[in-house]
Structure 1
Amino acid sequence: MGIDTETREYIDACRQALPPSLANRKVVFGFDGVIDRIRTAVATRFDPDEYERMNTLEEFGTRIVDAASLDTSCSIEWFCERKRAGGHTAHLGRAMERLGHRPTIIGTYGTPPRETFTREYEKTKLISLGSVPVTDAVEFDDGKVLLSDTRRLAKLDWEHICSAVELNSLAASIDRTELLGLGYWATIPKMPSIWEGLRRDLWPRLRDPPNRVLIDPADLRRLSSETLIQGVEPLSALDDVVPVTVSANRAEALLLANELDADADSLVDVAAVLRDRLGVSEIVVHTVSESVLATVDDRHRVVIPRISEPEITTSAGDHFNAGLAIAELADIDGGARLVVGSAVAGWFVRNGHPPTYDELLGFVDRYEELFGRSTLS
């Protein structure tokens, strides 16, 4: 997909709007936390030190399907390349710290917080809600398989949060912050109780509440239709007290759209209809090739330069959301916000770690070059 005129205009607007440096702003993210074990799947092993890696999801899936067709067990070798702090709070906290902020993250990091979390942050404040789950992330060139033991998060609700962190302490952590990020609905099925608790119990205690709430639903295929439909009312009610942005990938957005009868032809139309059905201020949908934004009044679309062999794909969506957060804090509107999100995610998948702010500026400066020789489309 080549770069188009609309994207070029948003890139120019982004360059003009991004400040030379970032002022330190208060942001907070809740309420998950996972230890990610990043794994490689082996296709063929030649000797103790040499092997051929499985490169694609299709190859992994074919191995499983072939075993099933032969009515035999499926044996796949894998190994752990590294461990890292994972989940919405950990990924957003890591990215925002590297970009120059001092976030607060509230989630399940262990009691006391496990070393996997504490070693990753220098300026981020951690508030733990209890024991930490584990996810095995098997990475391929075209995607990933996530195998999670997240029973702790499945039980997490507003009552559990308030029993782990007294409500006044929680209010003190969130008051006078500019942005609150929440994730993931998919791993915290009782997230609607948290939205309701924030609106009913917490917001009235805040003297200077966040200007926006950013919500990442994640892979909603885990949740029942009933759970999704019942979550709409508390989500819309939260938007009554603070503007809510829901940021989802294509699969998540299309699943929600199907459940809520929000079908449309193009991705930007899906976002617009979904925003109306959910009753929130904004919907963002991001893919590997484009991102779209639907607000009450406008629709925006940006194309994204793809990479054939990414360094890492796990948490690319979280880094896109970190870019949205940076744009929000810098008062960047419309399609230019999508450029910032795409740039943070683009740097991350190419380098395996979040950018500094200077690296983000550099990526935006050469955004068009990453498409190679392309014509207007």
Structure 2
Amino acid sequence: MSKKNSENYEPINEYDVTLDAVKSVMEKYSKFKNDVNQKTIFLGFDGYIDSLYSLVRKRDSAEKWVKMESMKEFATRINDAAGSSCNVERVLKKNIAGGCAPNTGRSTSHLGANTIICGALGYPEINPLFLDYPDNVSHYSITNPGTTAAYEFNDGKVMTTDFGNINGITWDLIMERIPRDQFIELIEESNAIAQGHWALVPNMNNFWEHLCEDIFPNLSNSKEKVFLVDAADMKKRKNKPINEMLKILQKVDEWMPAALAMNDKETADIAKVLSAEDSMFEKKNIRPIKSREDYYDFNKRLNEVLGLSYIITHDPHFATITTKNNHYWVTEGYTSKPKFTTAAGDHFTGGILMGLVCGLDPAESLVIGNAETAIFVRTGVSVSPKELERFINEYMSYILTDRTDFQL
């Protein structure tokens, strides 16, 4: 990290530890790189075939065209056609195995961790897209995958998904595919368990109840693990199941350190739900998020109510992590022109999981998660520890300048 970049960075708020966290990660990186290979991550229980598209604004010829750059432009096109019809051309970027488990697994496995992916990967035969992983990945399939068409823009993405197969996943089906004793062994040998996407898997609350009642009591080392939940877009879920999810997550936290991970919009959704009249929690200082400044300390206030081991928020510009006693902010290496956005959040999950299980402190773990995301949105590639280290060495320059590049 250059001295000039360090001197030019101004902390965003009182919780901003970006500079110190990046420096300490660089000092500890050799140990982190060695520790990663000794860890095992269990991921479940989803799976999708994701088709990633750009949308065409204007086409001049078979070879020459201009893409839609913003979600607002797409919305305007649809709105202007209301009452009639329209055609929007899409250009395929790639087909890829998607979902929280497959995408996070791509991150953790390329970093070097032994990775167990348990989800909707194809049944009775696993779809070949889910087999395009390093040799340190084990697959356990429950059912056939969902399908997603993702339209990517510079400022976000629109994902349209068929959840039919995902909606059919039950605890009984999981136990039918993986016998209980074998399932306990898989969890026993894992250093972390990541579950997602909560809002998109309707039976997830029930899965966690069974984990707490049937699986966790049979573990010899539950306190040594991390249980991370990716909440996902909760707008289609009612307040009651969201409240219930948080209550069950508190139960999980009694067995092992639990982490609730959300993006900025999902954090705002939680704020809205918990400040509503039907909230199951004491409101204290919980209020709706209305500005960027509200994110500075929201999770700190939220965890005074929930009392979880970790609450995490990530955004293209920043990430925060809150423990039961502390709250940290780390600025992200933002780019205004991302090449890929679908699976970026899952790469953040993979990075922060590896930081936490390899002994980095919470703020340092944010640096790993942010770096994984920043590389992915620029390249669409899950990287090795060597490539990750190279980005972290330049981390501050990506904050101070809107750099769209990262050479693999």
State the TM bucket, normalised to the shorter chain: over 0.9
Residues 245 and 282 of structure 1 are in contact (CA less than 8 Å); yes or no, is this contact kept in structure 2? yes
State the shift of 1:232 in Å. Answer: 2.3
State the shift of 1:106 in Å. Answer: 0.3
1:295 is the counterpart of 2:295: no
CA distance in 1, matches of 2:368, 2:127: 32
Residues 112-123 of structure 1: pairs in structure 2 closer than 5 A: 112-123=125-136
Which AA in structure 1 matches 2:92? C
CA distance in 1, matches of 2:246, 2:308: 9
CA distance in 2, matches of 1:246, 1:233: 12
What is aligned with 2:166?
A: 153
Equivalent residue for 1:97, pick from 94, 109, 113: 109
CA distance in 2, matches of 1:110, 1:155: 13
CA distance in 2, matches of 1:77, 1:334: 43
1:129 is the counterpart of 2:136: no
1:193 is the counterpart of 2:206: yes
Structural RMSD (CA): 1.8
Range moving further from structure 2, 265-274 or 96-105 = 265-274
Residues 289 and 305 of structure 1 are in contact (CA less than 8 Å); yes or no, is this contact kept in structure 2? yes
Sequence identity of aligned pairs in percent? 27
Residues 177 and 208 of structure 1 are in contact (CA less than 8 Å); yes or no, is this contact kept in structure 2? no
Range moving further from structure 2, 284-293 or 17-26 = 17-26
1:109 is the counterpart of 2:137: no
What is aligned with 1:38?
A: 52
Relative to structure 1, the CA distance from residue 272 to residue 55 in structure 2 (aligned partners, 3 Å threshold; closer, same or farther) is same
CA distance in 1, matches of 2:56, 2:266: 29
State the shift of 1:373 in Å. Answer: 6.3
CA distance in 1, matches of 2:207, 2:217: 15
State the shift of 1:62 in Å. Answer: 0.9
State the shift of 1:277 in Å. Answer: 3.5
1:86 is the counterpart of 2:76: no
Relative to structure 1, the CA distance from residue 167 to residue 255 in structure 2 (aligned partners, 3 Å threshold; closer, same or farther) is same
What is aligned with 1:58?
A: 72
CA distance in 1, matches of 2:81, 2:148: 24
CA distance in 1, matches of 2:67, 2:133: 28
What is aligned with 2:157?
A: 144
Range moving further from structure 2, 9-18 or 57-66 = 9-18
What is aligned with 1:15?
A: 26
State the shift of 1:160 in Å. Answer: 2.8
CA distance in 2, matches of 1:197, 1:17: 38
SS of residue in 2 equivalent to 1:305: coil
Which AA in structure 2 matches 1:184? H
Give the structure-2-normalised TM-score.
0.87
Residues 1-377 of structure 1: pairs in structure 2 closer than 5 A: 3-5=9-11, 6-20=17-31, 21-23=33-35, 24=37, 25-68=39-82, 71-111=83-123, 112-209=125-222, 211-261=225-275, 262-263=286-287, 266-372=294-400
State the shift of 1:345 in Å. Answer: 0.8
Relative to structure 1, the CA distance from residue 230 to residue 77 in structure 2 (aligned partners, 3 Å threshold; closer, same or farther) is same
Q: May I ask how many residue pairs the two structures share in their alignment? A: 371
